[in-house]
Amino acid sequence: MLPDFLYTILQCPITGEELINANQDQLQMVNGGNDRIKFENGFSNRSGSWFYPFQKDIIFLHPHYAISVKNELHENKMQFDKERIFNYFNSIEYLDFKGQDIYGDSKKFVDYRPFMIPYNEQGFAKARNHLPISGKFYIDVACGPVAFKEYIQLADGFDYRICVDQSATALMHAKQNLEKNGQQGIFICGDITSLPIKNNCGDAVLCQHALFHVQKNLQKKALEELVRIAKPGKRVVIVYDQFYHSRFMNFALGPYQLYRIIRHWMGKLYARIFKKNKLYFYSYPLSWFYKNNPGKSISIYSWRSINIHFSKIYLHKSLGGEKLIRYIQRKEEENPERMGKLGEYPIIVIEK
């Protein structure tokens, strides 16, 4: 049973209309007129043209899952780059980490060696420094499985945690992870470029490690959507990846960074030619955010200044790696703005 307030904050991602419970005639129509019901519950927009399923505690408000009730025309065929992101995150495997379900590919991006764990966990919790400590709606866009306990704790103090992701599987894992930690959530399958949430709803809006997976020409639209759903005066927190725009990593990794850049662009070409569901990635420089800022102000801080390639090359416990990572951690704490602009993973804070 969904709380009544959801009807006041959700909207049709296609028409922007408010949502209401689908009636029996609409259910019968979307179920093909058969006696056996395929969808037992769902929503429609106010004009009754689109149906959205509600199954397994997930509200399917992604345009891909919209079912026409009045033979409305809607292009839900995705462009290739968008489709391969959708397919990638709907087919990804999951691993267990400290009792939590995490993405199976996270080992490509996170160094899980024991002496690196304190540094990782500090990064996982950093968004809390830039979000309010309480409020009504905490909206986690592209939440994934809400993999780490530090991610779960970011919503402590809020009345409702709203998890939005394009992957229904990720949302099911998020539900499991939250329940293990005694936290409830509202789970919405949605598209970051057409969020099914009304204007000015979020007391806190978070988007971690996702915006750079949005198509290059749609990242501005996604950024505007994140700010649109935040309440005036509230903050939108985005964790981004600078990749080859990171001066610190370019300097530290040198020729290896050049190799990574060449491999990245060759991979994009390979995926496009052979139509592979390789993970899409495009990184804008921070100047792009200043230029396209849809909010009132923008600030940059450090989430994590190094990437896994730096840690695997330079950080070895037997060679003083533990001391070096503590030094980097201290520098990030002392100069978060500078390290955010120089390092790999900045926190971009936009005030609406």
| Judgement on whether residues 60 and 206 belong to the same structural domain of the protein | no
Condensed to tens digits (0 to 9), the pLDDT of residues 89-115 reads: 999 999 999 999 999 999 999 999 999
Range of the domain at 44: 6-68
Asked whether residue 79 is assigned to any structural domain, the reply reads no
CA distances to 107, 122, 260, 279, 326 from 265, rounded to whole Å, are 21, 32, 9, 12, 33
pLDDT of residue 256: 96
Comparing 145 with 24, the larger pLDDT belongs to: 145
Condensed to tens digits (0 to 9), the pLDDT of residues 328-348 reads: 999 999 999 999 999 999 999
| Judgement on whether residues 227 and 260 belong to the same structural domain of the protein | yes
CATH code, domain carrying 185: 3.40.50.150
Dig out the tokens for 298 from the structure.
């923008």
Closest CA to 216 of 284, 271, 273: 284
Condensed to tens digits (0 to 9), the pLDDT of residues 3-12 reads: 778 888 999 9
pLDDT of residue 234: 97
| Judgement on whether residues 49 and 181 belong to the same structural domain of the protein | no
| Judgement on whether residues 140 and 16 belong to the same structural domain of the protein | no
Asked whether residue 142 is assigned to any structural domain, the reply reads yes
Number of domains forming the structure of the chain: 2
**Cα angle 264, 269, 271; round to 5:** 95
Asked whether residue 196 is assigned to any structural domain, the reply reads yes
| Judgement on whether residues 284 and 166 belong to the same structural domain of the protein | yes
| Judgement on whether residues 13 and 37 belong to the same structural domain of the protein | yes
| Judgement on whether residues 30 and 127 belong to the same structural domain of the protein | no
Please tell me the distance from the alpha carbon of residue 188 to that of residue 91, in angstroms, as a whole number. 18
Q: Report the chain's mean pLDDT, rounded to a whole number.
A: 93
| Judgement on whether residues 46 and 146 belong to the same structural domain of the protein | no
Asked whether residue 19 is assigned to any structural domain, the reply reads yes
E strand or H helix at 326, and its extent?
helix 321-334
Asked whether residue 78 is assigned to any structural domain, the reply reads no
Last residue of a domain, one of 34, 68, 102: 68
Strand partners, 187: 58, 163
pLDDT exceeds 80 at position 325: yes
pLDDT of residue 1: 60
Contact 99, 111 (CB under 8 A): no
| Judgement on whether residues 103 and 53 belong to the same structural domain of the protein | no
pLDDT of residue 32: 76
| Judgement on whether residues 62 and 153 belong to the same structural domain of the protein | no
